[in-house]
Structure 1
Amino acid sequence: MSLSAEYCSDKTGDRGGGGGVALAHQRRLIRGLLVWATLLTLGLATSITLQFIQRESPAPSKRQIQENVTQPPQPPQPKEIPIMEFSPFWGDTEMVENLTWKTVREDFFKVQQQLLMNQKDGQYFLYLQVTLASHEKANHTITVETHNRKILNGRINGSKLSTLFMAKGISLAKGDNLTVTCNPKAKIRTRHTETYLGVIKINST
């Protein structure tokens, strides 16, 4: 049994001779969509694969951030200056000639038999202030010396001034001792702002 050409043409949609072109166009569209879907699938698969291979490193913690922050350069710490400080070791009411001392800081001098004994060779800066009692009117001479040389010598004019300040850079050897004398004897104030002795070590020889 055979079908007529008109029946076949109706079933395939080929009417007026344009059905074949439309069918071919639909097939091209379908193929294009399949290719596009395939490309999208490959791209998605590639992206997922890269996510597993190259995972992002975790965000740094606050501690890591603080550790990685470049610290500003710290200014050099000032070097401590070695210094000896002495305070009077007598009473305000005493008449003294040899001024004896007690140490406030003992780094490179020590008190030995009322002498200040040097413990290290080097260059030193020595400073001394002496204040007489207000009723001392005579002139007084204050002397600082070692066992073999005079270092400082000053006079207090009791009728005009009652305080003397002296200072000098000196070289001392280990074992040198310092003595401070007042001539003639006098009553010398002992407050820390009135009478004191200090030695600063500048460097070593």
Structure 2
Amino acid sequence: MRPVKAILLALPVIAVLGGCAGQGEIDATGGITAVRSACPVVGVPAGTGDVTIFAPESSQDASAIDVVASMTNVRGTCTDTTDPIAATVTFEVRASRTRTDAARDVVLPYFITMVRGGSNVVAKRVGRVTVHFDAGQARATTTGQATGYVTRAAATLPEDVRKQITAKRKAGDEDAATDPLTRPEVRQAVLRASFEALVGFQLTDAQLRYNATR
């Protein structure tokens, strides 16, 4: 799953290199201060941020649309001082319905999944959020929350890789113009230590196909 609605957050960061220089600042002894976060990046996987319910379920005609809901205002908070590291994702669900004659509760399943290295799903939890419509009300909004966990060891770069990334480089040195991330072993280590916390609606196969083709 690759997020197309990637919502990058100002999550706490852990400095890879000590000292007083800030992110992206040029260090007085050469090189650029590097930072990376142990917290997962938060996003919504492609095709899972919206759900359409039909009545009857076997139809996908526009005239059969019953309820439409979208996930929005996705936000994340991260506690990176604990082990495991906890990433809590909050979101809003905005829904509309066709028939408004009576009060109604619509229960929508959603998921949070922890993805390592861009493609490896290491954990998934499914929850439910209820949208309440009063009689005569066509639109309603509610909020949801989900939490995912990452072990500190899994989100931490090996010491030898950290040293390669943060090594001081001076003009004229043989490796001064070489980006450490061009080395396959370094790039793979960074990828293995990178996580995403992805949330979306838990859709049926038919709902996924509808989102992909509408």
Q: TM-score range by the shorter chain?
A: under 0.3
Greater strand percent: which structure? 2
TM-score (norm 2): 0.27
* Greater gyration radius: 1
- Structure with bigger helix share is 1
